Each structure stands twice: as structure tokens, then as C-alpha cells.
């Protein structure tokens, strides 16, 4: 756990970016207001985590999952966040699936290239081995002629 209460705060850069995205252009925010929003966001995250942990404990699990968080949102009476969270979760899962498939395809392509390169190298070596006896025979014939 955190040693000091400040350790539980979200990074200021993240909070600032979120605030800037939420406000219209030309609107600024004071340091004091940014600090208050940062503390409020941290408290919200801690409370949501605690509620989600209760659902995990009821399920005799030590790992929080998405359904625990969604249930916590409903218990905290933030039902209006459940649908956007579900949509964001589905988008995240699709993105991860796409990344996984792309990674697997990249690995397959690499394996195919490696196999192809090995076959090419093997063919070259075979061709070189076939050429060597012919060269040796020619050299022997030349030596005999001399």
C-alpha cells in the first residue's frame, strides 16, 4: 500500500490532459481546481476499486475483473456509466484481439521467410557440392594433360 496519501493521487499530467480534452478551447483551469479534480478522481478510483473488490471477495476471487467493476458502478449508483464502460471494454477487447492476430500473423510470416531462406541456402549448398566434383575432374584432367 501507499505510504503517504499523496502516493494515491493520479499523475498530474494525466489529469491535465483529461481536463483539457473535456473543456472547450480557450477555457483554462487554475492549479487549485486541477488539484481538487485530481484528488476527487483519486478518491473515486479508490472507492470504485474497493466496491469492485467486495464483489471479487464475494466470488471468492483475489483478482478483480471487468464484471466486478461494472457491478461496483451499479452499486455506487453510477448506472449511466455502465453502458459506456461496456462499450469501451468491447472496443478494448476487439483491439487486443486484433493485435494478437496481427502478432500471430507476423510470427507465421517470419517463420515462412526463415523456412524459405533455409531451403534456398540448402539448395545453394547442394548446387555447390555438385559443382565441386566437376571442377576437381577438370583439374585432374588438366594435370594429366600436363
- The reported pTM is 0.61
pLDDT category of residue 96 using cuts at 50, 70 and 90: very high
Q: Which of 20, 42, 77 is the last residue of a domain?
A: 77
Lowest-confidence segment of 1-5, 17-21, 104-108 by average pLDDT = 1-5
Number of domains within the chain: 2
Q: Which of 77, 104, 121 is the last residue of a domain?
A: 77
Give residue 85's pLDDT. Answer: 94
Same domain, yes or no: 108 and 130: yes
Indicate whether 32 pLDDT > 90.
yes
Q: Which CATH number do you get for residue 1? A: 1.10.20.10
Please compute the mean of the pLDDT values over residues 117-135 and round it to a whole number: 69
DSSP 21-75: HHSPTT----HHHHHHHHHHHHHHHHHHHHHHHHHHHHTT-SS--HHHHHHHHHH
Structural domain of residue 106, as residue ranges?
A: 85-146
Give residue 112's pLDDT. Answer: 79
Give residue 113's pLDDT. Answer: 77
pLDDT category of residue 60 using cuts at 50, 70 and 90: very high
Lowest-confidence segment of 65-69, 71-75, 105-109, 126-130 by average pLDDT = 126-130
| Farthest-apart Cα atoms in the chain, separation | 103
Q: Give every CB contact of residue 39 below 8 A, 6+ residues apart in sequence.
A: 9
Q: Which of 46, 77, 108 is the last residue of a domain?
A: 77
Amino acid at each position: 500500500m501507499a505510504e503517504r496519501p499523496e502516493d494515491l493521487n493520479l499523475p498530474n499530467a494525466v489529469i491535465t490532459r483529461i481536463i483539457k480534452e473535456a473543456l472547450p478551447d480557450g477555457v483554462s483551469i487554475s492549479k487549485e481546481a486541477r488539484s481538487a479534480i485530481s484528488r476527487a478522481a483519486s478518491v473515486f478510483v479508490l472507492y470504485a476499486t474497493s466496491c469492485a473488490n467486495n464483489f471479487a471477495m464475494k466470488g471468492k476471487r483475489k483478482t478483480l475483473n471487468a464484471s466486478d467493476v461494472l457491478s461496483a458502478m451499479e452499486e455506487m449508483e453510477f448506472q449511466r456509466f455502465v453502458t459506456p464502460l461496456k462499450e469501451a471494454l468491447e472496443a478494448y477487447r476487439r483491439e487486443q484481439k486484433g493485435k494478437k492476430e496481427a502478432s500471430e500473423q507476423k510470427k507465421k510470416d517470419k517463420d515462412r521467410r526463415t523456412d524459405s531462406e533455409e531451403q534456398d541456402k540448402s539448395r545453394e549448398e547442394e548446387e555447390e557440392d555438385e559443382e565441386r566434383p566437376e571442377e576437381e575432374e577438370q583439374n585432374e584432367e588438366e594435370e594429366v594433360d600436363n
